[in-house]
Amino acid sequence: MSNNIVKWVKVVLSIIVVVLFWILPVPDGLSIEAWKVLGLYLGTVLAIILRPFPEPVILVISMAVMSIIYGSLKGALSAFSGSTSWLILSAFIIGHCFVVTGLGKRIAYFLIEHFGHTTLRLGYISTITDFLLSPAIPSNTARTGGLVYPIFQSLANTLGSYPDKHPKRVGEFFMILLYQNSLTTGTLFVTAGAIMPMMIHLSEQLMGVTISWAGWAQAMIVPGIILLAITPYIVYRINRPELKKVDNKALAKSGREEIGNMSYREKLLTLFFILAIIGWLTGSITGIMPTAIALGFLACVLVTGVITWKDVMDVRSGWSTFVWYSGIISISDALTKSEFFKWLGIWFEHTINLSGIDPIIAMAILITITVFIRYFFASTIAYVVTFVPVIFTLGAVLNLPAIPLLLLVAASAQIASLLTHYGNATGPLLFSTGYVSQGRWWATGHLIVIYSMIVYFIVGLAWWKVIGLW
C-alpha cells in the first residue's frame, strides 16, 4: 500500500470518529453541543496520533471544521489571544537567540574547559548545559537536539567514538545521558516544555487551580536537582565508558576557535536573559505576567539587533507549536464551556466506587497509570490532550490535592517518555545515531523512570507540603 493511500486511510478514520458523534445518541445529562465537540476533539486527537499531516495542519483543519460546520469561529480561535500561547511562542524565539548568537555553545565550552577533565564530568556538563538552557527553550528537540547534542556528538567523534567504531568509548554514554537530561530538565520550569503551560491551563479548567512561573520553579527545583545530581552517575555506572579521562583544555580550545570571541550580541543576550529570569521569579511581587516579560525580552533583542525579524520568522518549530497548541486548547476550551468535563466528573462519581480511598494511594495509582500508558504514545502532545484531562477530572472527583497532582502528572508526562526510544521527539534523534542498542536504551530508561518517579512522589510531595502547596 502506497504512502499516499495510507495517509488518506488515516484521514478517513479520523473523519469517521467525528461523524459518529453526529449520529450516535447523546448520553443522558450531556448537551448535543458537547457531544459533537467531543467528537471533533477525539477525531483531532486520533489524527495527531496517526499523523496523516503535521500537527499544525491537523489543527487548522479542525479549526476550519469548528468554524464552518459547528458555526463557532470565535471558539475555534479563542486560545490564539491567550497569554499562554504567546508565552510558548516567545520562549521558542528566546531559545533561538541562543542558537543564532552562539551563546549556547559558548556556555557548553566554558563548562568543558573548567570542569570536564573526566568523562563523568563531561556527562555532568551536558546536564548543567541542558539545565541552564531549559528556562529559555521549551522544546526538548530544540534544546537537547539542536544545541547540546551537536556539541557532544562532535566530542564523541573527536575522542574516537563512532557508532560503528568504539561506540562504548564515550558515545554510548553521551547519547543515553542526553536523553535522560532532556526529559528531566523539561520538568523544572514552565518554559522548559511546551506541554507545561498546557498542563496548567487544563488544571485551571478542570481542577480550578493554577500556579505561577516562580511557583512552579520553586516546587520542581528540589526533586529535579536531586535527579540531575544522581542521574549522570547512574547512567555512567550502567553504561560505563571505556575512556575515563580527556584533554578538556584542547577540546574547549578547539570549540572556542570555532565560535570566536564573545560578541556584543551575546553580551546583550546574557543581560536580557538574566533580567527575564529575575522578572519571572519576582512576578508575584511586581504583578508583571510571565508573557509580558517574555514579550519585553523579545522587544529588547529586536530593538538592539541581537536578532532580526528574519530570525524570528525562522523559528518554524515555535510558529508550528503556536498554531497546534492554540488550536487544540481552543477545542478543549469549547468542551469545558459545554460542561463536558463536569458531566464526566459526575459520570465517574456514579460509575466508579472510589469513596474512602486515601489521597496518597489514589495519586500513586493515577501516576502509575500515567507512566505505563506511555508505551502506547509516540507523541507527548497526543498523550497530554488525550489522557491528562481524564486524570485531572478524576482528581477533582476524588478531591485530591490539585497542585501536587498537576506537578506529578507533569513530571510523569516528561519522565515516562524515557521508557522507550519513541516516547519523545528527542528519542528518535539520539537513538538513530546508532551508538546504543534498543535493549540497553530501554533498560536504562526503565531504571531511570522508576527511581525518578519515586523521587518526585516522595521528595516532591514532602517538599510541596513544606512550601504550602497542599
pLDDT higher than threshold 90 for residue 189 = yes
DSSP alpha helices (H): ranges in 1-102? 3-23, 32-50, 55-68, 73-76, 83-101
Task: Concatenate the DSSP letters of all residues of 401-441 into one string.
Answer: -HHHHHHHHHHHHHHGGGGSSSSSTHHHHHHTTSSS-HHHH
- The residues near 380 (Cβ < 8 Å, ≥ 6 apart) are 195, 413, 414, 417, 423, 424, 425
% pLDDT > 90, the chain: 49
Question: What digits encode the pLDDT tens for the residues 86-118?
Answer: 887 887 788 788 888 988 888 888 888 888 889
The whole-chain average pLDDT of the chain stands at: 89
Residue with the three cell numbers 500537527 = 55
CA distances from 58 to 3, 33, 43, 163, 366 (A): 18, 21, 10, 36, 30
CA dist., res. 380 & res. 383, Å (int):
5
Of all residues in the chain, what percent are helix, strand and coil, respectively (each to 5)? 75, 0, 25
DSSP alpha helices (H): ranges in 186-315? 195-206, 213-238, 248-259, 264-281, 283-286, 290-303, 309-313
Q: Which residues pair with 162 in a beta bridge?
A: 165
Question: What digits encode the pLDDT tens for the residues 440-467?
Answer: 999 999 999 999 999 999 999 999 999 9
Question: What digits encode the pLDDT tens for the residues 353-387?
Answer: 666 788 899 899 999 999 988 887 777 887 888 88
Question: What digits encode the pLDDT tens for the residues 242-276?
Answer: 989 888 888 888 888 888 889 999 999 999 989 98
Question: What digits encode the pLDDT tens for the residues 211-223?
Answer: 999 999 999 999 9
The pTM is what? Answer: 0.81
CA dist., res. 28 & res. 40, Å (int):
19
Which set of grid coordinates corresponds to residue 405?
497532582
Alpha-carbon dihedral sign for residues 386, 432, 440, 175: negative
Three-class DSSP category at 162: strand
Tally of helices (H runs) and strands (E runs) in the chain: 25, 0
Range among 211-225, 287-301, 429-443 with highest mean pLDDT value: 211-225
Q: What is the dihedral of CA 434, 440, 441, 447, to 10 degrees?
A: -160
Question: What digits encode the pLDDT tens for the residues 14-59?
Answer: 999 999 999 999 998 899 999 999 999 999 988 988 889 988 999 9
At 1 the pLDDT is: 60
pLDDT higher than threshold 90 for residue 398 = no
Residue type, 125: I
pLDDT higher than threshold 80 for residue 2 = no
326 closest CA partner among 136, 66, 98? 66
